[in-house]
Amino acid sequence: MEQLIRSGHEMWIRVEEAGAIGAARRAATVLAGALGFAEVARERVAIAVSEAASNLVAHAVEGMMLIRPHLFPTEAGAEAAAVEVLVLDRGPGIADLGLALRDGYSTAGTLGVGLGGITRMTSAHDVYSVPGKGTVIWMCFTADDRPPPASRVSGLSRPIGEEHVCGDAFACFDTPRAAVVMMCDGLGHGEPAAEASRLAVRVFQSHGELPPVPLLERLHEALRASRGAAVAVARLDRASGRVRFAGVGNIAAWIVRPDGRQGLISLPGIAGQYSRTLREYEYVAPPHSMIVMHSDGLSGRWDIAAYPGLTARSPAVVATTLLRDAGTRRDDACVVALKVAS
């Protein structure tokens, strides 16, 4: 069973004032309706998103929500769609997450449902919080309330400032045997940068089965029609943990363990304009590690040791936590987290 994951169709909402609660609720329910959710299912989405947004307004600092569709394969081989919501803040964090998830536990200023109630309304969820750093909540809603397959890879992108399009993008093929991740950072920002990244995603959709260097060559040639980009490709063999990597430009890539990380080598250059002779590097990722790739919209100075237990969380929570803390508002940003083995 193969799954294609790519960035795009993401709606970011800043949730710091009460008026944003309704905006978040409407965005999520409109998306649910577009995906064919019945009224009862849409109401479940509305209540959970409203409560999460109320918590941000009451307690958080720099609260944000990301609302987007999440496509996943079914056992019958078809494709189904879910509503995915990521909630992030730089607030005080949750000192006792177990207590916060108990039935009946709530805090003043919310709808009274509480974090436990929010998670019960989801089809799947994950929560990560560090006191003094903030909280990240991942919520996924399916039309029939059945949980989607556990995801082994997730990523997200965020445009610079008030831009409506992001010049950074990623795409990934994930199968039981192998996973391939491509990330593109179009030069500059705005529509020309976004078009370069969309072009790279289309090339990847057609040729993602190629080894990293031949795929990078295809991308380099296709991007001549654009302003150019930084591009990198990582291919993971799940049975052996072998990682084959090739990159041009400043896409950062790491093999991340709970106690540290190893950087992957990307060569100088600009795909579509100029580069050195392309070269593939090979690494071995240990069991229960992950591969993290990000554009230069994130600082590379993050320290995984500052996030106890993060590598055990879902890829969506890992990627969102890193974007929140390492991301800069001075550039488009994109990050992907890929689990090596469960």
Nearest to 323 by CA among 307, 299, 291, 304: 299
pLDDT at 108: 43
Domains in the chain with CATH codes: 3-142 (3.30.565.10), 153-339 (3.60.40.10)
Taking the C-alpha atoms of residue 298 and residue 155, their distance in angstroms, rounded to an integer, is 13
Sort residue 326 into left (φ over 0), alpha (ψ -120 to 50) or beta.
Answer: alpha
Side chain identity, residue 132: G
Q: Tell whether pTM > 0.85.
A: yes
3-state secondary structure 152-179: CEEEEEECCCCCCCCCEEEEEEECCCEE
Is residue 203 within 8 Å of residue 222, measured between CB atoms? yes
Is residue 204 within 8 Å of residue 182, measured between CB atoms? yes
Taking the C-alpha atoms of residue 183 and residue 172, their distance in angstroms, rounded to an integer, is 9
Taking the C-alpha atoms of residue 74 and residue 56, their distance in angstroms, rounded to an integer, is 34
Residue 91 exposure: Cα atoms within 13 Å on the Cβ side: 22
- Written as tens digits, the pLDDT of the chain (342 aa) is 456 666 667 899 999 999 999 999 999 999 999 999 999 999 999 999 999 999 899 888 899 999 999 988 777 667 889 999 999 999 888 877 666 666 555 544 333 457 888 888 999 999 999 998 999 999 999 999 999 988 999 999 999 987 889 999 999 999 889 999 999 999 999 999 999 999 999 999 999 999 999 999 999 999 999 999 999 999 999 999 999 999 999 999 999 999 999 999 999 999 999 877 899 999 999 999 999 999 999 999 999 999 999 999 999 999 999 999 999 878 999 999 999 976
Which residues make Cβ contacts (< 8 Å) with residue 32, sequence separation at least 6?
Answer: 41, 42, 45, 83, 141, 143
